[in-house]
Amino acid sequence: MSTRDLVLSALFAAIIVALGLLPPITLGFIPVPITAQSLGVMMAGVVLGARRGTIAVLIVLVLVAIGLPVLSGGRGGLAAFAAPTTGFLIGWVFAALTTGYISQTVVREGQSAFAQTAGFFLAAVMGGVVVLYAFGIVYLTFAAGIDFSKAFLGSMAFIPGDIIKAFVAALVGRAVMAGYPLLPARG
């Protein structure tokens, strides 16, 4: 891994942390708040690709584990990995990996702007919504001791916001691809 790869991964880790400064919104009927950090995870995968995007997320999780308050709401420390939302934190790794893999497989330089944006959107939805929710809902079922259908239906309230986040991530991915051609190939 080159120095440039590490710098880009650290930059996106910082973006994910910065998005955690926005206060979480709790809905009350499910113990999972609405946060902006999943947008950072989607953007890391779309812009950096599978390997570097996953490293960016792992950097954030290491910062959480050593106790820095980098999660939304100023949370940090090992207690964050014992909460009902831990499945979503674990899912971040696989969400970035999936988003990055799909984006670097589907999106190519010679495609139209629409095709690139659509490819980035597909990647962000598959990784940042489908994969992330798979981890989050399954863990929430066990950690909170609630029925799977209740966890699933409660989580559906977050889908519209996450679809908007996926669209924003797709626009960012397209803008970076068009405006920063010196960025090395996503990988």
- What is the rounded distance in angstroms from the CA atom of residue 40 to the CA atom of residue 46? 10
Q: For each of the chain's 187 residues, which pLDDT tens digit applies?
A: 899 999 999 999 999 999 998 887 777 766 667 889 999 999 999 999 999 999 999 999 999 999 999 998 888 999 999 988 899 999 999 999 999 999 999 998 889 999 999 999 999 999 999 999 999 999 999 988 899 999 898 888 889 989 999 999 999 999 998 888 656 565 5
In the chain, where the domains are located: 3-179
Query: What predicted TM-score, i.e. pTM, was given to this entire model?
Result: 0.91
Residue 57 and residue 32: Cα distance in Å, rounded?
Answer: 19
The residues, any chain, with a CB within 8 Å of residue 63's CB and separated by 6 or more, are 13, 17, 70, 76
- Amino acid sitting at position 181: P
Secondary structure (DSSP) of 20-49: TTSPPB--SSSS--B-SHHHHHHHHHHHH-
- Second-level CATH architecture of 3-179: Orthogonal Bundle (1.10)
